[in-house]
Structure 1
Amino acid sequence: MKTIISISIAVLVGLGVAIGGSQSGSTLDGLPVFLLCGILAFAVNWLVYIPANNYQTEKYYDLTGSLTYLTVIAIACLFSGPLDARSALVALMVVIWALRLGSFLFRRISADGKDARFDKIKVNPLRFFLTWTLQGTWVALTAASALVIITTETRLPIDIFAIIGLTMWVAGFAIEIIADNQKSQFRADRKNAGRFITTGLWAWSRHPNYFGEILLWTGITVASLPLLVGWQWVTIISPIFVIFLLTKVSGIPMLAKAGQKKWGDEPEYKDYIQRTPKLVPRPPKA
């Protein structure tokens, strides 16, 4: 029963934001394009869930997440009014981000063979369905600011909000890529097997990739601010949701628990935790 309730809440929240973001937006035969994108966010994941559940595999979970972003952005661009510079740039940025993240995560799980988080979940069809539903909610909420920029009928020239927002996105995207590449190179070195990274951006923050992720979605929300009216303001949930997800749910807490279990008794790990910020980077102490 709890799982069914969780599924219902996830769907209602995702579609609720899509409905709010649809105000003053483009429509397709009377259906708001933003709402259509919200529906598709769930539909794509539910469709892929069918074979995934049949074979009890999570291998294509992250790849499906990226595919969902690409789908909703493509539909938003296709059925909205003529795109201006702001909306075209934002659409391009989300596409670039989704392609990069999807390929990165798919290569990682292909190399690892599995995602341990799904070991107990994928054998339970209802709980497994919940994870795919939550991914639909993740897409609907995270992409909300981008979708409102693309689907709104209000078009404004590039202004200070767009410049600041796009600059934040570029910085966040660069930080995320650099951090991920540094960690991949660290893991590729056999002498680092089973160890934790403390070099590069990881000397500045224990989770620099998450900081980059938060920064880039916040940038898109900043770019959307001059366009928002009425219920469209609900779309500022985008970076708030990303922050909540990464700092309170599936990101930092899970990694912190795993790290404590592996290296919690090691003085070197304790020192790293004490001297390195959890999220927001700062120069390492001498």
Structure 2
Amino acid sequence: MLTDTDKEFLSLTATFTAGYQLFFFLIAAVFQFDKLTDFAGSTNFVIIALLTLVKKGSWHLRQVVLTAMIVIWSTRLALYLFFRILRWGEDKRYDRMRHNVGNLAVFFIFQGLWVWTVTLPVTVVNASDKDPSIQAEDIIGWIMWFVGTIVEILADKDKFSFKNSPESKGKWCEIGLWKYSRHPNYFGDILLTWGYFVASLPIIEGAEWLVLIGPVFLTLLLLFVSGLTILEKSGDKKFGNVEAYRVYKKRTSPLIPLPRSIYGNLPYWFKAVFLFEFPIYNLQSKDKTEVEFVLPYLWIHEFVDEVLKLCWRVSDGGK
């Protein structure tokens, strides 16, 4: 069972996150201003981590380190996203939401869930009275976070440089880490989020295993909802008829950075089963082997796509 302190901290973080996201939702809805949208999500992490640490007041090493991990990562992300939106102006990702309150509300609800679930490990650790000695799980979790953060920073730097290059028009990014992964930033994000969970293992027991919701939610969100699925579909729409792009997809891992000489020679079934090359990322493939593998899953993709469209129609007021 969850302790009374666990329940108190979980309730506190959920309430604060809901209120914080509501505040920025109202700003975005009333003023149709989306330059603070990503900033609202990133800074929410900082406040949750520091709030739970200070409220408990134990200041155990594990609590301080895990809190610092959240604060460092989210502060960097907040500054990067804020600088990017100032540099590029309006974010095209929000075109569908900017003038529709329903769509905007759906976005902020998911953003709130993202913040609350990913911070579950630090919330439970900071709420705990337990303070066992530093164990292997702590070190492994910290290393996962460090590697994931570095990967995300490098991937963002490479993508930002590419987007600001005159030569990028009409091309896809394959410089730096993007040469080894089609989405290295998401790989870094997923890895560091699982690092939070692993670093909390020496503390959690019983119902506290609910912290597993955090990395699972983020992983599923990026793989099947708001991340790879949307970007792969967008890439296929833009470049699907370009032979060089099809070769690029076949040789480049969708998530885990791998040398092209290795990934490109692996059979498609192996990529799909072990390396996240899911059929929904290759619906426009013209390769016979891939098509035969993809077809049995096509109806699943269409079903999920229709469900998402229905959600948007509901938020649009039935339009």
TM-score, structure 2 normalization: 0.78
Deviates more, 1:84-93 or 1:222-231: 222-231
Q: Give identity over the alignment, percent.
A: 33
Aligned to 1:117: 93
Which structure 2 residues correspond to residues 36-115 of structure 1 after superposition, within 5 A?
Answer: 36-115=12-91
The alignment partner of 2:90 has SS state of coil
Structure 1 segments (4+ residues) deviating >4 Å = none
Aligned to 1:33: 9
Aligned to 1:9: none
Distance in 2 separating the partners of 1:64 and 1:204: 31
Query: Aligned-pair distance for 1:112?
Result: 2.2
Is the contact made by 2:9 and 2:123 (CA closer than 8 Å) also made in structure 1?
A: no
Is the contact made by 2:155 and 2:184 (CA closer than 8 Å) also made in structure 1?
A: yes
The alignment partner of 1:201 has SS state of helix
Letter in 1 for 2:199: A
Query: Aligned-pair distance for 1:188?
Result: 1.9
Letter in 2 for 1:280: I
Query: Aligned-pair distance for 1:266?
Result: 1.0
Distance in 2 separating the partners of 1:93 and 1:132: 24
Which structure 2 residues correspond to residues 208-247 of structure 1 after superposition, within 5 A?
Answer: 208-247=184-223
Query: Aligned-pair distance for 1:64?
Result: 0.5
Is the contact made by 2:96 and 2:103 (CA closer than 8 Å) also made in structure 1?
A: no
The alignment partner of 2:201 has SS state of helix
Q: How many residues of Structure 1 are paired with residues of Structure 2 in the alignment?
A: 262
TM-score, structure 1 normalization: 0.87
Query: Aligned-pair distance for 1:132?
Result: 1.3
Deviates more, 1:119-128 or 1:58-67: 119-128
Query: Aligned-pair distance for 1:39?
Result: 1.1
Higher relative contact order (CA 8 A, sep 6+): 1
Query: Aligned-pair distance for 1:113?
Result: 1.5
Query: Aligned-pair distance for 1:60?
Result: 0.8
Query: What whole-Å deviation, never above 9, does each CA across 1:52-95 have from its counterpart, x for those lacking one?
Result: 11111222110001121111112101111412111101101100
Aligned to 1:179: 155
Letter in 2 for 1:59: K
Distance in 1 separating the partners of 2:15 and 2:132: 27
2:35 maps to 1:24: no
Query: Aligned-pair distance for 1:25?
Result: 6.1
Which structure 2 residues correspond to residues 250-269 of structure 1 after superposition, within 5 A?
Answer: 250-269=226-245
Query: Aligned-pair distance for 1:142?
Result: 1.1
Of 237, 252, 272, which aligns to 1:276? 252
Query: Aligned-pair distance for 1:121?
Result: 1.9
Of 105, 112, 117, which aligns to 1:129? 105
- Aligned-CA RMSD value: 1.6
Question: What runs of 5+ residues in structure 2 fail to find an aligned partner?
Answer: 263-319
Letter in 2 for 1:49: F
Deviates more, 1:56-65 or 1:185-194: 185-194
Distance in 1 separating the partners of 2:20 and 2:153: 26
Aligned to 1:15: none
Query: Aligned-pair distance for 1:143?
Result: 1.2
